Each structure stands twice: as structure tokens, then as C-alpha cells.
Amino acid sequence: MSSGFGAAAIVLAGIAARALGWLPDEFWQATPAELAASLGHSATSAGGLGRDDLERLMESENG
């Protein structure tokens, strides 16, 4: 797995497991907004992920 999106998702899954007691299925079924809200962050404070950022992540993951 590259050091892009996949690696970051694994780290977030571990954080959700420790901080929220979530099982892996609960993490993978949650939306980013649900994860942020569960961790006490508002979606507006994070600024969200723009289309350009998403495309850049997808390109780096797919090589």
C-alpha cells in the first residue's frame, strides 16, 4: 500500500478504534462527516476535501 490515502485510512481506523471503540466495520461504514462529528470536529472547521485534493489523492494512489 502506498503512503497516500490507504495508509492514512489505516491510521484513522486505529484512532477510531481506540478513541471511539469502533470495530473495523463501523469505521468503514461511517462517512468522513460522521467520523469527524464523532471525534468532536465540525465539518466546517476542517474545511473539507475539495475536488482537486480528491483527484490528487486518487492519482497518487493509482500511480
User: What residues of the chain score a pLDDT lower than 70?
Assistant: 1-3, 42-48, 63
**Structural domain count, the chain:** 1
Domain that holds residue 18: 5-62
Query: What are the phi and psi torsion angles at 21 (to 5°)?
Result: 75, 20
Could you give the CA distance from residue 6 to residue 9 in angstroms, rounded to a whole number? 5
DSSP state, 30? S
Pick left, alpha or beta for residue 51 (phi over 0 → left; psi -120 to 50 → alpha; otherwise beta). alpha
* CA angle, residues 41, 39, 6, in degrees to nearest 5: 100
∠ CA 27-29-35, rounded to 5°: 50
- Identify the pLDDT of residue 1: 47
